[in-house]
């Protein structure tokens, strides 16, 4: 099957930092980009001043990018749609989109998360809410990609997973650039889970750094975290090699060590002794790892997957456990063979 040609336009749903960055990237490819913003003031500022100070401050946005708060208007005539809303808004927004979508649309989730109530991935939510559009094709894009760096045109690589290789290659060709390299995959489960699970361990890495435990400790916890991620992903049907790639190890390294990581910032402040409520007070952006910690804990219980690090982060965030006690409990666990971490 030959990869289809896509029209020179794209709709981006969600004008947070990541959605705005993807819209800016697409506009630099000379695509006609329409960006849906939930907040009227955000849409107005993007159209008038070419900036999104609320979510991506001090980054000048290119021409060819128009923002709107009217979902029907943004989706009108669009065949490629990028979903970039916070994971806890995905179901509501997707349900509102369904009547306006063309049945032949390609909808790609670039959101990273797992739904609290159902433990569903973002693509599973889209399958639920868009099921009336029988010809719809879905995919997921994930990888190590700080929004600000993508918006500034700095080199980035991500993975796009779809069930159809020709369609994945069509989107790959449509959205790739020398500074934004897209690799394709057929492993939707692995690509989605890597992007969601790593947020929890970025908080753990931040706590380690907040404690001042040093480089050795962080370098030790990252492969152990990857082992937990791989164990869960394999239990849900993923290819373990996906977790060794961009959407697993790559995103974990970035989010657990990068200065722009919101999840790492929260963990660092927890490790330094601050309370979670004080850390989150006044924040407008979303720290997905906090929500993901609860949904990942639920997944681990449902599928009986051993994830001790994720369990301790859940207890710190939701049960009031002291971070130092969580660390002590982890370090006092029975000794074991290293490769046991790779089996479900």
User: Which residues span the domain enclosing 328?
Assistant: 195-342
In-domain check, residue 19: yes
What are 229-270's pLDDT values in tens digits? 999 999 999 999 999 999 999 999 999 999 899 999 999 999
Please check whether residues 81 and 224 belong to one and the same domain.
Answer: no
Q: Where are the alpha helices (DSSP H) in 88-213?
A: 90-97, 122-129, 147-151, 165-175, 188-211
Reported as half-sphere exposure (CB side, CA atoms, 13 A), residue 81 has a value of 31
Please check whether residues 61 and 171 belong to one and the same domain.
Answer: yes
Distance, in Å, from the CA atom of 190 to the CA atom of 279, rounded to the nearest integer, reads 31
In-domain check, residue 4: no
What are 50-83's pLDDT values in tens digits? 999 999 999 999 988 999 999 999 999 899 999 9
What are 11-55's pLDDT values in tens digits? 999 999 999 999 999 999 999 999 999 999 999 999 999 999 999
Question: What is the per-residue DSSP string for 293-325?
Answer: HHHHHHHHHHHT---HHHHHHHHHHHS---HHH
pLDDT score of 227 more than 80: yes
Please check whether residues 101 and 38 belong to one and the same domain.
Answer: yes
Two structure tokens written together for 148? 């600000």
Phi, psi of 135 (to 5 degrees): -90, 5
Please check whether residues 132 and 55 belong to one and the same domain.
Answer: yes
CATH of the domain at 300: 1.10.1040.10
Please check whether residues 212 and 147 belong to one and the same domain.
Answer: no
CA torsion 50-53-57-62 (nearest 10°) is: -10
What percent of the chain stands above pLDDT 90?
85
In-domain check, residue 3: no
Please check whether residues 241 and 325 belong to one and the same domain.
Answer: yes
What are 278-306's pLDDT values in tens digits? 998 877 777 888 989 999 999 999 999 99
If one counts the domains in the chain, the total is 2
In-domain check, residue 291: yes
What are 108-140's pLDDT values in tens digits? 999 999 998 888 999 999 999 997 666 789 999
Catalytic one among 198, 275, 321, 336? 198
What are 156-187's pLDDT values in tens digits? 999 999 999 999 999 999 999 999 999 999 99
In-domain check, residue 2: no
In-domain check, residue 38: yes
Specify whether the CB–CB gap between 100 and 76 falls below 8 A: yes
pLDDT at position 119, please? 87
Please check whether residues 248 and 332 belong to one and the same domain.
Answer: yes
Please check whether residues 180 and 208 belong to one and the same domain.
Answer: no
pLDDT at position 1, please? 53
Decide which of 129, 162, 186 is a domain's last residue: 186
Mean pLDDT estimate for the chain: 93
Please check whether residues 207 and 231 belong to one and the same domain.
Answer: yes
Two structure tokens written together for 307? 């994830």
In-domain check, residue 1: no
What are 184-195's pLDDT values in tens digits? 999 999 999 999
Please check whether residues 167 and 289 belong to one and the same domain.
Answer: no
Phi, psi of 12 (to 5 degrees): -115, 120
pLDDT score of 88 more than 70: yes
Span 100-108, average pLDDT: 90
Span 209-222, average pLDDT: 94
**Residues for the chain: how many in total?**
344
Closest to 288 in 3D by CA, of 53, 88, 54 = 88
pLDDT at position 342, please? 56
Distance, in Å, from the CA atom of 303 to the CA atom of 310, rounded to the nearest integer, reads 14
Decide which of 131, 162, 186 is a domain's last residue: 186
pLDDT at position 131, please? 74
pLDDT at position 2, please? 59
CATH of the domain at 92: 3.40.50.720
Please check whether residues 100 and 146 belong to one and the same domain.
Answer: yes
Specify whether the CB–CB gap between 116 and 295 falls below 8 A: yes
Give the DSSP letter of residue 100. Answer: G
In-domain check, residue 207: yes
Q: 112 catalytic, yes or no?
A: no
Please check whether residues 149 and 223 belong to one and the same domain.
Answer: no
pLDDT at position 133, please? 60
What are 306-344's pLDDT values in tens digits? 999 999 999 999 999 999 999 999 999 999 888 875 555
Q: How far is residue 171 from each of residues 165, 316, 321, measured CA to CA in Å?
A: 10, 40, 45
Helices (H) and strands (E) in the chain, counts: 16, 8
Decide which of 125, 152, 186 is a domain's last residue: 186
pLDDT at position 6, please? 84
What percent of the chain stands above pLDDT 70?
97
């Amino acid at each position: 099957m030959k990869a289809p040609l896509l029209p020179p336009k794209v709709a981006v749903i969600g004008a947070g930092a990541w959605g705005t960055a993807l819209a800016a990237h697409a506009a630099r490819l000379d695509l006609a980009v329409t960006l849906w913003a939930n907040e009227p003031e955000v849409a107005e500022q993007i159209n008038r001043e070419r900036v999104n100070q609320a979510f991506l401050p001090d980054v000048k946005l290119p021409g060819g990018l128009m923002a709107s708060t009217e979902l029907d208007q943004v989706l009108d005539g669009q065949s490629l749609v990028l979903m970039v809303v916070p994971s806890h808004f995905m179901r509501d927004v997707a349900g509102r989109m369904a009547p306006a979508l063309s049945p032949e649309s390609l909808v790609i989730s670039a959101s990273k998360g797992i739904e609290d109530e159902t433990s569903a991935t973002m693509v599973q939510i889209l399958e639920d809410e868009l099921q009336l559009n029988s010809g719809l094709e879905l995919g997921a894009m994930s990888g190590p990609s700080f929004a600000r760096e993508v918006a500034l045109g700095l080199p980035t690589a991500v993975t796009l997973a779809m069930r159809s290789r020709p369609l994945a290659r069509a989107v790959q060709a449509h959205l790739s650039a020398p500074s934004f390299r897209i690799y394709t995959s057929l492993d939707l489960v692995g690509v989605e889970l890597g992007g969601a699970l790593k947020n929890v361990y970025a908080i753990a890495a931040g706590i380690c750094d907040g404690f001042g435990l040093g480089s050795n400790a962080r370098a030790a916890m990252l492969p152990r975290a990857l082992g937990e991620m791989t164990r869960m992903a394999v239990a849900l049907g993923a290819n373990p090699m996906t977790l060794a790639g961009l959407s697993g190890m790559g995103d974990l390294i970035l989010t657990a060590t990068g200065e722009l990581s919101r999840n790492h910032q929260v963990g660092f402040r927890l490790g330094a002794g601050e309370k979670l409520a004080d850390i989150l007070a006044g924040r407008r952006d979303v720290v997905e790892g906090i929500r993901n910690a609860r949904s990942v804990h639920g997944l681990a219980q449902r599928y009986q997957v051993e994830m001790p690090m994720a369990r301790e982060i859940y207890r710190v965030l939701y049960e009031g456990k002291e971070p130092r006690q969580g660390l002590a409990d982890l370090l006092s666990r029975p000794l074991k063979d290293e490769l046991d971490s790779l089996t479900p």
